[in-house]
Structure 1
Amino acid sequence: MDEFQKLLTTSITEKHLERCRDMFLFACFSGMAYTDVCNLSEKHITQDDNGIMWIKIEWQKTKSECGIRLLSVPIQIIKKYKHERTDDKIFKLKTLKTIDENLKIIAQKCGIESRLDYHMGKHTYATQVFISQGVPIEILCKMMGHCSVQTTQIYAKITNQKVNEDMKILSSRIENRYELTKNDVPEDFGRNQYYK
């Protein structure tokens, strides 16, 4: 999460690197693979009756349909690069090799030790944008167009932070619901002798 914040907030002055970071962030907030972002066109972006924008697209790899609700960051990125369009394609991407090379430079500029590549955007979407924010894995499965939750679990590793947060919620829900009677709890409970 710390590295993700650095990626979001570090100022990058070189336009080609800023653009590369934006394309990577688009993947981080949409879960889309490089080929799917290359194929993304205006016909894939819809707006529902509540004014919420969605991407409705067939994943190239799995041929399964998916619906991705657009969060504010990808909407900002779409608007930011609208002036570049010469056809109905949303973005004009560099080659995957070029993007991955630029991401290494971006990582250095941001003080990120992890090795960045474009595919990590999909993992970041699963772990940082969804799972660590408390969204159930079943919803993530649907958003990513997976046929089963087992496939989604490959991407959605449960972080220690998520486990800790969920245990805090559980603790607050069951606090005072289950207690031993006073006679069952030694007066000096909690002293080191009980943890040896």
Structure 2
Amino acid sequence: MIVTKAYNAGMIARNPFADYHPKKTTKERGYFIESELPALMNHKFAFEGYGKVRDMFVFSCFTGMAHADVKGLTQEMIQRSFDGDLWIVKNRQKTDTPFKIKLCDITKRIIARYKREVAGTNLVLPVPDIAYCNRVLKKIAAEVGIDETITYHCARHTFATMMLTLGADLYTTSKLLGHTDVKMTQVYAKIINRKKDEAVNLVNGLFD
């Protein structure tokens, strides 16, 4: 900063901004609400590339996986359990934390949809790079009629809020996300509590 350099050089007697500390603001974490996700999943895109990005995003919405983890998902990471169910078993790329989640019907269908496209590779899905995904997601949101900025990371937030809304406890949700500390997951619990509060407030004055 120019003023700081001037003060350090002795050009001014004091730094007028020395006691100024800007307030930190906490940005609301983006996520899809119950009505938005089906609208996104069922929308028919004219451009095939939009549909692919949508599918990768939806895959993350139902697994809680970050873009890098889906992009790096390989065939040997899909393992069949003793009861016949398919699970993703890997370590998160960002934190190297063990991560394990069962594939649901939606994620199985997405994998099957792109099986031919990834044939000859060891990859599970043909995931475009993050910059391209984020550019397309903005266009997708506008086309579907979602009035907010969407990035790929919103998928993890959607997964977390969805799990807690459906009744999963905080500890289990934390493990499903691959968080290293349950405190990292508590922000989603606050969102759910606020949603519950808003729901109860809807009945205030209803029978006055």
TM-score range, shorter chain: 0.7 to 0.9
Matched, 1:101 2:132: no
CA shift in 2, pair 1:158/1:73, >3 Å? same
- For 1:46, which of 63, 79, 97 is the aligned residue? 79
Residues 50-97 of structure 1: CA deviation (Å, up to 9, x unaligned): 121110010011111111111111111111101011311112222211
For 1:7, give the aligned amino acid.
L
* Corresponding residue number in structure 2 for 1:11: 44
Which consecutive residues of structure 2, in runs of 5 or more, have no partner in the other structure? 1-32, 201-206
- Which residue type is aligned with residue 146 of structure 2? I
Contact 1:66–1:142 (CA<8 Å) still a contact in 2? Answer: yes
Task: Give aligned-pair identity as a percent.
Answer: 31
Quick check: which one's helix share is greater? 1
Structure 1 stretches of 5 or more lacking a match? Answer: 168-190
CA distance in 2, matches of 1:110, 1:8: 10
In the superposition, the TM-score normalised over structure 1's length comes to 0.78
Structure-2 separation of matches of 1:30 and 1:87: 22
Q: CA RMSD for the aligned pairs?
A: 2.0
Q: Alignment partner for residue 158 of structure 2, among 124, 133, 150?
A: 124
**Residues matched between the structures, number:** 167
Task: Show the counterpart of 2:180.
Answer: 147
Q: Mark the CA change 1:161 to 1:72 in structure 2 (over 3 Å): closer, same or farther.
A: farther
Q: Which amino acid is the alignment partner of residue 167 of structure 2?
A: G
**How do 1:1-196 and structure 2 match up within 5 A?**
1=33, 2-85=35-118, 86-128=120-162, 130-156=163-189, 157-158=191-192, 160-162=194-196
